[in-house]
């Protein structure tokens, strides 16, 4: 049993966030599980977790939750910035409102929550911040401009943060999941078809949807990432990045080896059938 550290996990109602909360509760951590859908975290509460309602794009939610944790526990040892989603669609089709929301969730929400937690970690001279990026923070796919832009931005933001806060004993870790069994595919599929309509990018949308939802695509369970997070936050000197899950290491390596045009050709063939 590890020392009972206090952990805040966002996006904890499903997928990676929920699996990580379960993993850390089993290991003896005190876990605050944050999400918009509190009713979906009843199972975590039964296991000893503390569900809290939080929308990472709302300032009042962030300040309220951090104040609650500090009041009840006196500290936050680990912040796992995991909440996110994928806004897919052609650049020409996706509205700026939708694009801004992608960044609000995946970058600005992360940044604001981190700002709120940092003073408490600095005071204690320790802490770990884990940010869920994606293999998508290192590669790109058709119709994913805004999602990949947000994840690429999170990668650079995390690197700068790491250098700024290491002097205070605070560690920053980036997790880059590959293909994971979560609600990601469903969340992507519904709006992308609506956005495309019968417009010029509809054939590309249909091809991508077929590729993403095809039976030959292999996904890893969220528990794979949960174990990585557990390892990272318990390490005295964690890696700056962890890649895990189906196709993650493979695609990042191929992106590096093939170059731009070679990777373009591979994507057209594998994802667009051309």
Assess whether 209 carries a catalytic annotation: no
Identified catalytic residue from 13, 134, 158, 246: 13
Alpha carbon 238 to its chain centroid, in Å, reads 18
Assess whether 13 carries a catalytic annotation: yes
Assess whether 151 carries a catalytic annotation: yes
Distance CA 176, CA 167 (A): 25
DSSP 90-152: -TTTS-HHHHHHHHIIIIIHHHHHHHHHHHHHHHHT-EEEEEE--GGGT---TT-HHHHHHHH
Identified catalytic residue from 88, 133, 134, 138: 133
What is the token pair recorded at 41? 């975290």
Assess whether 227 carries a catalytic annotation: no
Distance CA 146, CA 92 (A): 11
Identified catalytic residue from 32, 140, 147, 209: 147
DSSP 184-251: HHHHHHHHHHHHHTTSTTHHHHHHHHHHHH-TT---B-THHHHHHHHHHHH-SS--SEEEESBTHHHH
Between strands 78-81 and 127-132, the pairing is parallel
Distance CA 130, CA 115 (A): 14
CA of 42: how far to CAs of 35, 37, 58, 111, in Å?
Answer: 12, 10, 23, 28
Instruction: Give catalytic residues, as residue numbers.
Output: 13, 133, 147, 151
């Amino acid at each position: 049993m590890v020392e009972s550290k206090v952990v805040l996990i966002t996006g904890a109602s499903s997928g990676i966030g929920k699996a990580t909360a379960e993993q850390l509760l089993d290991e003896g951590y005190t876990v605050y599980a944050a999400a918009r859908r509190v009713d979906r975290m009843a199972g975590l509460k039964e296991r000893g977790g503390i569900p809290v309602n939080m929308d990472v794009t709302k300032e009042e939610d962030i300040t309220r939750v951090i104040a609650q944790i500090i009041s009840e526990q006196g500290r936050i040892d680990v912040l796992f910035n995991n909440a996110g989603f994928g806004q897919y669609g052609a650049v020409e089709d996706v509205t700026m409102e939708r694009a801004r929301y992608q960044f609000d969730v995946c970058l600005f929400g992360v940044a604001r929550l981190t700002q709120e937690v940092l003073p408490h970690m600095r005071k204690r001279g320790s802490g770990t911040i884990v940010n869920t990026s994606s293999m998508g923070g290192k590669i790109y796919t058709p119709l994913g401009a805004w999602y990949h832009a947000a994840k690429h931005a999170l990668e650079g933001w995390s690197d700068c943060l790491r250098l700024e806060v290491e002097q205070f004993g605070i560690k920053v870790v980036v997790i880059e999941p590959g293909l994971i069994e979560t609600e990601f595919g469903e969340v992507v599929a519904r709006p992308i078809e609506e956005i495309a309509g019968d417009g010029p990018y509809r054939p590309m949308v249909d091809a991508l949807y077929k590729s993403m939802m095809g039976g030959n695509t292999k996904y890893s369970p969220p528990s794979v990432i949960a174990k990585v997070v557990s390892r990272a936050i318990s390490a005295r000197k964690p890696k700056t990045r962890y890649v895990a899950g189906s196709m993650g290491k493979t695609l990042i390596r191929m992106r590096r080896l093939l170059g731009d045009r070679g990777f373009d050709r591979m994507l057209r063939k594998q994802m667009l059938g051309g």
